[in-house]
Amino acid sequence: MSDPYIGEIRPFAFGYYPGDGNWLPCDGSTLTAQQYPALFAVIGTTYGGNGGSTFQLPNLPGLAMLGTGQGRGLQNHTLGQQSGQANVTLNQNQMPPHNHSVTAINAKAADTYPAPNGTSHLSRCASPGGVHFAYTDQPLTENASLSEESLAPYLGGGTGAQPHDNRQPWLAFTYAIACNGIFPVPE
């Protein structure tokens, strides 16, 4: 393997970074500029530090890397910028408009209509006293609209909105940054 550029980050498929003195883990460690002057000259305090005697390494555990710049139709991302969340909770403003339409038949007697199938509508309901058929003295009305109060909002599997995983599919590697090697010169 050729000498790395100072500040170059590489993924490694083993659970540690090379111990040859040229690599440091991308774990957000604070280093002194005096001990690593070349690396400090390359990355400065982009990832943290006090601006003079200390600086921090990029902190990558649990994060995905993203290229700098602005892709077509995307926002601009600057070097060292960090954003995103592992979990998010959607609110009503983030959900697309949709309907929970329900149709029903108001039947006078339980034995007048067959069990629901692909072309009929459910006309019975359950209560603490058991299953019974709802009826009214009104004439039969097929595909009648129900009151808005007939359906409660669906909040998901618990008592309220819960965060969900917001990460793309991923594969974990050990990331390390070169602290020795070739000093990169801009074009």
**CATH (domain of 18):** 3.90.1340
Cα dist from 47 to 6, 28, 75, 132, whole Å: 15, 8, 21, 67
Angle at 61 between CA 179 and CA 184, to 5 degrees: 25
| Number of domain units in the chain | 2
On whether residue 83 sits in a domain, the answer given is no
8 A C-beta contact, residue 55 and residue 47: yes
Does 54 lie in the same domain as 13? yes
**Mean pLDDT computed over 39-50:** 96
Other residues' Cβ atoms within 10 Å of the Cβ of residue 23 = 23
Whole-prediction pTM: 0.65
**What average pLDDT does range 53-73 have in this prediction?**
92
* pLDDT above 60: residue 150: no
- pLDDT, residue 37, reads 97
Q: Judge whether 141 lies within some domain.
A: yes
**Is residue 32 domain-resident?**
yes
CA 72 to chain centre: 22
Asked whether residue 20 is assigned to any structural domain, the reply reads yes
Q: The domain containing residue 35 runs over which residues?
A: 1-62+172-187
List the single range of 67-71, 80-84, 106-110, 176-180 with lowest mean pLDDT: 106-110
CA count, 13 A, side-chain hemisphere, 6: 17
Residue 17: pLDDT over 60 = yes
Residue 120 covered by a domain: yes
